[in-house]
Amino acid sequence: MSKINTDMHRILKERFNHDTFRPGQSDIISSVLSGTDTLAVLPTGGGKSLCYQLPALMFKGLTIVVSPLIALMQDQVDSLHNAGIEALLLNSALDWDTYCVNMDLVRSGVVKLLFCAPETLSTGRMQDLLAGIEVSCLAIDEAHCISEWGHDFRPDYNSLSTIRNLFPKAVCLALTATATPKVRKDIKDSLGLKNCTEFVGSFNRPNIFLEVTPKWRKKEGGANLQVEQFLEEHMNESGIIYCFSRKQVDELSAYLKRKHFFVLPYHAGLSSEKREKNQQKFICGKVDIIVATVAFGMGINKSDVRFVLHYDLPKSLEQYYQEIGRAGRDGKPAHALLLYTYADTRKINFFIDEKSGVEYDSAKEQLRGMIEYCESKGCRRKVLLAHFGEKYESYESETTKDSKQSGCRSCDICMGGKSVNVDVTIPVQKLLSCIIRTNERYGAGYVIDVLLGSRQKRIIENKHNKLSTWGIGKEYSKDDWFQIVQLLIEEGFLRKSSDYNVLSLTQDARDSLSERAIVMLPFVPSGKTGGLK
């Protein structure tokens, strides 16, 4: 091990109290320490901060960290202080006295890390201050904000290209959690990172189950009911529900509260005290569920979030990825469910139409990516990772005949579309009445033949070709009907006798029939129709 390498490991242990580097960290840190401009793309939670914090302790001069998130910077500075590391924050929110004291500290050279918002860094007095000191490293956090192709473009970040030129000797480290190949190129161009090394960590989060399901319309009971049913399957689990608008957040959280779930709302329309309070209650587990707009989640450090439910369509896959990434940080199974209806694109397009030029094009393209993901017939993980320029190596090479074994094994599509519920009220009514009409005395094969209008001998002899349910199921194939039977058995609607596999209805099924209840099941029709001679 080289001297630098040994020092890195020692500092990791002594100053940060970690035993090993996370994937990518040591390569990124070595690259920065060697003075090479570096672009690091690591997923949220991947440990980006360490990539500038650790080198900062090894560099002679100052490390400037640019971040757009003032609140998060304060947290970082506090935790660095706790670890005995000299870090400071300079921003427009500081009062004059503190600002002056901090300036003096920077000048004296004891400070190793200086955190600033981009707009602070471009002020004259800041640049005067920095002119007199040695800057070793310029770290740009959330570097995707520089790109108009990113999901979070911030005009303030434009000034960074000029700032970069003020410190030609400093090595530049750009960090981000979300960067498509296009955004990566933008970052490198804008910051003038020439001959830079690029590290892209894997974006795969194998413990998150990815699912997109049709959003229930009114006649199916509505999306609120759909959420309620999902939550019933996730009792006492901690989760986040994302909605498009504040109004939707208020409505849904009120609805769920009436249904006795422990929920709180979160959006920019609430006072900052209220937001802080609700967020805190969620983090410490006093409430299970936060219903929120995109405003929620930046820097949330809660490892046991078990589900993220998207009530509305996100604007981009970047946004979606970041939001679902808040689930399952502890590595245990988590569920990302998106309720999809094409109609929701209208709300987003409404805002896109306000934009113009490259912003308009970019927003349109991002929305298209999101729609493609939702409408994909292939593995969701593959589509999602491909969006970030990552090729997903699935298990396909070792695929067995069982389709449930192929792909990522952790998305609705790879699990055979099992969890996409569709409205099967009508076919279920047909099947159940056919079983009743034949007096609950036959197996699935026979009942299905009746539905398909078969004239086989036994059916004619029993005069079942005279039943009103004879031949009313030709819209589906025999296999489709078997699938429905199987699903109804799993659902507890049908019972199979142990001897002759005779089908009969449970009380649930009878209730559902008499109430004309809507039945949603993960049915995947083959597209073929039946019909028998």
Which three-class secondary structure string do you get for 400-418? CCCHHHCCCCCECCCCCCC
Give the residue, chosen from 49, 176, 253, 316, that forms a contact with ligand ADP under the rule CB under 6 A. 49
**Residue tagged 């030029």 (tokens):** 357
144 forms part of the interface with ligand ADP (CB under 6 A): no
Q: How far is the CB of 447 from ligand ADP (least distance, A)?
A: 55
Q: Of 41-49, 124-132, 402-410, 434-442, which part binds ligand ADP (CB under 6 A)?
A: 41-49
Adjacent-strand bridge partners of 46: none
Nearest to 316 by CA among 384, 366, 375: 366
Residue 395 burial (CB count, 10 A): 13
Q: How far is CA 469 from CA 255, 452, 453, 461, 516, in A?
A: 40, 9, 9, 16, 17
- Residue type (1 letter), 141: D
Burial class (CB in 10 A: 0-12, 13-18, 19+), 532: middle
User: 184 is written with which tokens?
Assistant: 């990566």
Minimum CB distance to ligand ADP, residue 27 (Å): 13
Does residue number 22 form part of the binding site for ligand ADP (CB under 6 A)? yes
Q: Which is nearer to ligand ADP, 51 or 313 (CB)?
A: 51
Name residue 62's beta-bridge partners: 135
Applying CB under 6 A, which part among 47-55, 146-154, 370-378, 521-529 lies near ligand ADP? 47-55
Neighbours of 164 (CB within 10 A): 20
Q: Fill in the per-residue mask, 354 to 383: x = in contact with Zn ion (CB under 5 A), - = not in contact.
A: -------------------------x-x--
Q: Quick check: 328 binds ligand ADP (CB under 6 A)? A: no
292-311 per-residue burial string, b: 16 or more CB within 10 A, e: under 16:
bbbebbeeeebeebbbbbbb
Q: Give yes or no for residue 48 binding ligand ADP (CB under 6 A).
A: yes
The smaller minimum CB distance to ligand ADP, of residues 13 and 455, is found at 13
Is the CB of 51 or the CB of 385 nearer to Zn ion? Answer: 385
Q: What is the Cα–Cα distance from 253 to 262, expressed in whole angstroms?
A: 9
The stretch near ligand ADP (CB under 6 A) out of 44-52, 60-68, 106-114, 380-388 is 44-52
Question: Whose Cβ is closer to ligand ADP: residue 94's or residue 200's?
Answer: 200
Burial class (CB in 10 A: 0-12, 13-18, 19+), 494: buried
Residue list 485-504, contact with ligand ADP (CB under 6 A): none
Selected binder of ligand ADP within 28, 37, 40, 46 (CB under 6 A): 46
Q: Could you give the CA distance from residue 362 to residue 368 in angstroms, rounded to a whole number? A: 10
Q: Binding residue for ligand ADP (CB under 6 A) from 8, 32, 33, 50? A: 50
Nearer to ligand ADP, 48 or 430 (CB): 48
Radius of gyration of the chain (CA): 29
CB atoms within 10 A of CB 162: 11
Q: Which of 151, 169, 142 is nearest to 52 (CA)?
A: 142
DSSP secondary structure letter of residue 388: T
- When binding is defined by CB under 5 A, the residue of 414, 420, 431, 503 that contacts Zn ion is 414
Q: By CB under 5 A, is residue 459 in contact with Zn ion?
A: no
- Of 342, 354, 350, the closest CA to residue 313 belongs to 342
- The rounded distance, in Å, linking the Cα atoms of 186 and 364 is 18
Q: Please, which residue, 45 or 269, has the CB nearer to ligand ADP?
A: 45
* Closest to ligand ADP by CB, 42 or 505: 42
- Options 145, 179, 411, 434; binder of Zn ion; rule CB under 5 A: 411
- DSSP calls for 77-140: HHHHHHTT--EEEE-TTS-HHHHHHHHHHHHHT---EEEE-HHHHTSHHHHHHHHTS-EEEEEE
| 464: β partners | none
* 18 makes contact with ligand ADP (CB under 6 A): yes
- Which of 29, 42, 339, 431 lies at the binding interface for ligand ADP (CB under 6 A)? 42
Could you tell which of Zn ion, ligand ADP, none binds residue 25, using a CB distance below 5 to 8 A set by kind?
Answer: ligand ADP
Q: Is 121 in the site for Zn ion (CB under 5 A)?
A: no
Q: Give the nearest distance from C-beta 143 to ligand ADP in angstroms.
A: 12
Q: Is residue 420 within the footprint of Zn ion (CB under 5 A)?
A: no
Among 31, 38, 44, 63, binds ligand ADP (CB under 6 A): 44
CB 62 within 8 A of CB 112: yes
46 makes contact, choosing from Zn ion, ligand ADP, none, with CB < 5 to 8 Å by partner type, with ligand ADP
Q: Which is nearer to ligand ADP, 9 or 246 (CB)?
A: 9
CA atoms of 459 and 467, how far apart (whole Å): 10
Which of Zn ion, ligand ADP, none has residue 414 at its interface (CB below 5 to 8 Å by kind)?
A: Zn ion
Q: Which residues bind Zn ion (CB under 5 A)?
A: 379, 381, 407-408, 411, 414
Kindly list the residues in this chain that would bind ligand ADP in the complex (CB under 6 A): 18, 21-22, 25, 42, 44-50
